[in-house]
Amino acid sequence: EAGVAQSPRYKIIEKRQSVAFWCNPISGHATLYWYQQILGQGPKLLIQFQNNGVVDDSQLPKDRFSAERLKGVDSTLKIQPAKLEDSAVYLCASSLDWGRTDTQYFGPGTRLTVL
């Protein structure tokens, strides 16, 4: 079974530029998550989708971050414009459903460096 796929693996941009990350979850997984992991910290949930609807985006900085999962499968996370403090690893995860007992499976992440 293929795992969660993410691209690109690395990205370096200048501040105020825009960037987009792509995630393809495990086949059949209804729930998709985007996490931000700043160096030295644990992952922090940015947004959670159930199929193509948003379940939780309370920690997403909506003035600059956006995410979509139009067909309920793959997803894109965008930052526009980027700030220095956005330098982090962006992890995508998926789970079969959205219950508390559902295991989340993580992709390898995209490491973003903002200069």
Partner 1 sequence: AQSVTQPDIHITVSEGASLELRCNYSYGATPYLFWYVQSPGQGLQLLLKYFSGDTLVQGIKGFEAEFKRSQSSFNLRKPSVHWSDAAEYFCAVGNTGTASKLTFGTGTRLQVTL
Chain residues in the site for partner 1 (CB under 8 A): 3-4, 31, 40-45, 48, 55-56, 91, 93, 95, 98-109
d(Cα 35, Cα 25) in Å, to the nearest integer? 14
Half-sphere exposure in the Cβ direction for 16 (13 Å, CA): 0
Q: Are 22 and 91 within 8 A, CB to CB?
A: no
Nearer to partner 1, 81 or 108 (CB): 108
CB of 16 vs partner 1, minimal distance in Å = 28
CB of 79 vs partner 1, minimal distance in Å = 20
Backbone φ, ψ for residue 87 (5° rounding):
-60, 120
Nearer to partner 1, 81 or 98 (CB): 98
CB of 73 vs partner 1, minimal distance in Å = 19
CB of 81 vs partner 1, minimal distance in Å = 27
The Cβ of residue 53 has, within 10 Å, a number of other Cβ atoms equal to 9
Nearer to partner 1, 3 or 80 (CB): 3
Backbone φ, ψ for residue 86 (5° rounding):
-85, -5
Nearer to partner 1, 24 or 48 (CB): 48
Residue whose token pair is 């992952």: 43
